[in-house]
Structure 1
Amino acid sequence: MGCSQELSEFKSGTLIGCHLCNKSIRDISLLLNIPRSTVSRIITKWKQLGTTATQPPSERG
Structure 2
Amino acid sequence: MQTDSTDICERLCNKSIREISLLLNILRLTVSGSITKWKQLGTTATQPRSGRSQKMTERGQHMLKRTLHISHQLSAESLAKDLQTSCGLQISTTTVHREFHGMGFHG
Q: State the TM-score, normalizing by the size of structure 1.
A: 0.66
Cα deviation for residue 59 of structure 1 reads 1.5
User: Which residue of 2 is the match for residue 25 of structure 1?
Assistant: 17
Deviation at 1:30, TM superposition (A): 0.3
Q: Deviations for 1:3-37, whole angstroms, at most 9, x for unmatched residues?
A: xxxxxxx7xx23x231x2x1110000000011000
2:29 counterpart (34, 37, 47): 37
- 3-state secondary structure, aligned to 2:18: helix
Task: Name the one with the larger helix percent.
Answer: 2
CA RMSD of aligned residues (A): 2.2
Structure 1 CA distance for aligned equivalents of residues 15 and 32 of structure 2 = 12
Q: Which residue of 1 aligns with 2:39?
A: 47
After the TM superposition, which parts of structure 1 deviate over 3 Å for at least 4 consecutive aligned residues?
none
Matched residue, 2:71: none
Between the two structures, name the one with larger relative contact order (CA 8 Å, sep ≥ 6): 1
TM-score, normalising length: structure 2 = 0.40
Structure 2: segments with no counterpart, 5+ residues: 53-107
- Gap runs ≥5 in structure 1: 1-9
Instruction: Find the aligned partners of 1:59 and 1:49 in 2 and give their Cα distance.
Output: 20
